[in-house]
């Protein structure tokens, strides 16, 4: 589906944004450099000031004022404005590669393709800690099934979900399934794809169409973001139980398991009643206290080894000795944050008290 000047417009790129004109400008300029008449761009703006509107006016980009409280509703408002055959979604903190739109919509020549997406990794110019986060997100085994950096073998691979930062759909399919769940405060792309596949349509991944996507550059904002990912994922699972994987059960329990492990190790060390040199040998009498200490230490060591091995075997292009070793901190931090988010949602569901502000580290 390559088009030249004057080509028929067949696609619309929707970009929900909120108070982020500096990074949005990078996205828009990259998309405008490639624009050949085959697609248009629509910014769905939930900002509280006029900077995004002024940017869109300056660049000649369509702009839609949005006052909804969730990204799902903002995207639905954008879909209602789409008149083209295909709809693409991305975020306001990416760096679209040249040819991104065309490389996705070409796959719709196959009638089986209802939606197609690609992987996303941290850009090369992101700071070191952002690259550590990328390595953690893309680690094998340890990521609760996340598809941030999925890069399976094959030219086009059937999948159940593509992240909303790098994806295209047939507009008719979006409308048939009713778009995103109204009022969903997060994981809206997961719920959408579940509806699409349950309706009998097929989704695919193009492993070659990578979208550079900025990661949080500091540990605390990263943990806050991942905590909210856990929160909204648990709510999504409540809406659609098929979305839960065994890894989600592990991560939800992780904060409690980690606390029990630390307390067991501390109790064993303090109450063992033996000299310290016995704690680090296998000689001497084995008491309950020693077993608690060594058992907790052994399981912790095994877990950290899995973090390092999983990162080394992951898909992030930013794997290096330093970023892989840093996964001993970044992955446990992510598991604690994600698990705590899931537990908060669990408590909220039990109490009937769900916070709509837990949609991200930004507030609508």
Q: Does any domain span residue 96?
A: yes
CB 333, CB 206: distance < 8 Å: no
Q: Does any domain span residue 251?
A: no
Q: Does any domain span residue 283?
A: no
More confident residue, 144 or 231: 231
Q: Which residue has the tokens 């399976």?
A: 152
Q: Does any domain span residue 310?
A: no
Q: Give the whole-number percent of the chain exceeding pLDDT 70.
A: 88
Residue 217, pLDDT score: 73
Q: 284: closest CA among 299, 295, 292, 272?
A: 272
Report the number of distinct structural domains present in the chain: 1
pLDDT per residue over 21-62, tens digit each?
999 999 999 999 988 889 999 999 998 889 999 999 999 999
Rg of the Cα atoms in the chain: 23
More confident residue, 3 or 147: 147
Q: Which residue has the tokens 């761009």?
A: 41
Q: Which are the contacts of 222, defined by CB distance < 8 A and separation ≥ 6?
A: 129, 133, 215, 216, 330, 333, 334, 337
Residue 153, pLDDT score: 67
CB 186, CB 231: distance < 8 Å: yes
CB 163, CB 147: distance < 8 Å: yes
Report the alpha-carbon distance of residue 314 to residue 324 in Å, rounded: 10
Residue 147, pLDDT score: 58
pLDDT band at 96 (very low <50, low <70, confident <90, very high): very high
Query: 165: how many CB neighbours lie within 10 A of its CB?
Result: 19
In angstroms, what CA-CA distances link 302 with 294, 319, 333?
A: 12, 21, 16
Angle at 248 between CA 206 and CA 338, to 5 degrees: 90
Report the alpha-carbon distance of residue 345 to residue 357 in Å, rounded: 12
pLDDT band at 152 (very low <50, low <70, confident <90, very high): low
Residue 290, pLDDT score: 75
CATH number for the domain spanning 177: value is 3.90.550.10
In angstroms, what CA-CA distances link 90 with 6, 268, 288, 331?
A: 24, 51, 54, 26
**Residue 304 pLDDT exceeds 70:** yes
Report the alpha-carbon distance of residue 93 to residue 23 in Å, rounded: 5
Q: What is the dihedral of CA 182, 189, 361, 229, to 10 degrees?
A: 110
Q: Could you tell me which residues are beta bridge partners of residue 211?
A: 120
DSSP state of 46: -
Report the alpha-carbon distance of residue 16 to residue 66 in Å, rounded: 9
Report the alpha-carbon distance of residue 311 to residue 149 in Å, rounded: 12
Q: Does any domain span residue 94?
A: yes
Take residue 187 and report the two structure tokens written for it: 């994981």
Report the alpha-carbon distance of residue 146 to residue 135 in Å, rounded: 12
Write b or e for each residue in 2-25: b if 16 or more Cβ atoms lie within 10 A of its Cβ, otherwise e. ebeeeeeebbbbbbbbbbbbeebb
- Please tell me the pTM assigned to this model: 0.84
For residue 347, what is the enclosing H or E element? helix 327-351
Kindly state the average pLDDT of the residues 177-206: 92
> Domain limits at 22?
11-134+143-215
Q: What is the dihedral of CA 214, 215, 216, 222, to 10 degrees?
A: 150
Q: Does any domain span residue 292?
A: no
Report the alpha-carbon distance of residue 164 to residue 118 in Å, rounded: 10
pLDDT band at 242 (very low <50, low <70, confident <90, very high): confident
Q: Does any domain span residue 67?
A: yes
Take residue 61 and report the two structure tokens written for it: 């980009």
Q: 232: closest CA among 344, 90, 76, 77?
A: 344
Q: Which residue has the tokens 């979900």?
A: 161
Q: Does any domain span residue 267?
A: no
């Amino acid at each position: 589906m390559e088009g030249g000047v004057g080509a028929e417009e067949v696609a619309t790129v929707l970009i929900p944004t909120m108070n982020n004109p500096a990074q949005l400008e990078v996205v828009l300029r990259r998309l405008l450099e490639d624009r050949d008449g085959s697609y248009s761009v629509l910014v769905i703006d939930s900002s509280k000031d006029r900077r995004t509107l002024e940017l869109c006016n300056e660049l000649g980009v369509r702009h839609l004022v949005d006052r909804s409280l969730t990204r799902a509703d903002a995207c639905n408002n954008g879909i209602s404005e789409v008149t083209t055959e295909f709809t693409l979604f991305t975020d306001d903190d990416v760096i679209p590669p040249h040819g991104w739109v065309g490389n996705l919509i070409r796959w719709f020549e196959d009638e089986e393709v209802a939606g197609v997406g690609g992987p996303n990794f941290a850009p090369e110019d992101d700071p070191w800690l952002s690259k550590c986060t990328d390595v953690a997100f893309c680690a094998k085994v340890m990521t609760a099934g996340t598809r941030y950096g999925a890069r399976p073998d094959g030219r086009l691979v059937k999948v159940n979900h593509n992240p909303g930062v790098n994806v295209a759909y047939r507009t008719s399919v979006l409308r048939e399934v009713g778009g995103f769940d109204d009022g969903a405060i997060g994981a809206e792309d997961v719920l959408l794809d579940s509806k699409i596949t349950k309706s009998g349509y097929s989704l695919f991944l193009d492993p070659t169409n990578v979208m550079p996507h900025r990661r949080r550059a500091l540990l605390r904002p990263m943990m806050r973001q991942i905590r909210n990912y856990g929160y909204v994922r648990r709510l999504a699972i409540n809406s659609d139980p098929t979305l839960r994987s065994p890894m989600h059960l592990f991560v939800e329990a992780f904060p409690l398991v980690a606390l029990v492990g630390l307390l067991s190790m501390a109790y064993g060390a303090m109450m063992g009643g033996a000299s310290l040199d016995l704690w680090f040998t296998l000689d001497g009498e084995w008491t309950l206290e020693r077993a608690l200490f060594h058992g907790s230490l052994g399981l912790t060591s095994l877990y950290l080894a899995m973090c390092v091995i999983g990162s080394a075997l992951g898909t992030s292009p930013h794997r290096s000795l330093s970023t892989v070793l840093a996964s001993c901190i970044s992955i446990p931090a992510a598991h604690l944050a994600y698990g705590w988010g899931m537990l908060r949602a669990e408590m909220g569901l039990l109490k009937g008290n769900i916070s709509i502000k837990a949609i991200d580290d930004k507030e609508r």
